[in-house]
Amino acid sequence: MKARGIETHLGRKIVRFDADRVVTEGGEFAADLILFTPGLTGPAWIEATALPKSAGGFIASDEICRVIGFERTYVVGDGGSFPGPDWMPKQAHQADLQALAAVANVAAELEGRAPTHRFKPELICIVDTLDAGILVFRDQQRSFTLPPLGPLHTLKAMFEQRYISVYR
């Protein structure tokens, strides 16, 4: 951001939005257009349950997607809080990997075996700019971002069609 001359205001709580400015606890700055993305919190209904909660209000899980302190109870996806690297995304791909581990563990338990399947922390994302796509990848070993490439836009569209067709 700095290299592109974009000023950042990090770690300061937003006090309010005015029509032409953003006011934070650490000062204010003018804005022509304000786009606000609220932070994620866990589902509100967890409050009324005995499920263990993380600091952010998500269902606390161990490394095999088992709800902490609950027998044969698993959580996957955005609603869970999982041990792992701090870059671990709340992403559909990550939810899929967690679901594979959880299903394998449920199957193991039903067959009387110990549940031992872990999920791989992995971020794969194609940022689609409509005329190109930017691949962002990260796992425990590698981290890279490719420049915008036309075929990646097409690839993302094909992947989406294939992925959604299962549900349609």
Which residues here bind ligand FAD, judged by CB under 6 A?
A: 43, 45, 77-79, 90-93, 95, 125
One-letter identity of residue 2: K
Nearer to ligand FAD, 24 or 52 (CB): 52
Do the Cβ atoms of 67 and 51 come closer than 8 Å?
yes
Nearer to ligand FAD, 22 or 75 (CB): 75
- Distance between CA 129 and CA 148 in Å, rounded? 8
Nearer to ligand FAD, 92 or 146 (CB): 92
Do the Cβ atoms of 84 and 65 come closer than 8 Å?
no
Measured from the Cβ of residue 24, the count of other Cβ atoms closer than 10 Å reads 14
Shortest gap between Cβ of 106 and ligand FAD (angstroms)?
16
Do the Cβ atoms of 40 and 81 come closer than 8 Å?
no
Q: Please, where are the H alpha helices in 65-129?
A: 92-110
Shortest gap between Cβ of 75 and ligand FAD (angstroms)?
9
Shortest gap between Cβ of 96 and ligand FAD (angstroms)?
8
Nearer to ligand FAD, 16 or 162 (CB): 162
Shortest gap between Cβ of 111 and ligand FAD (angstroms)?
26
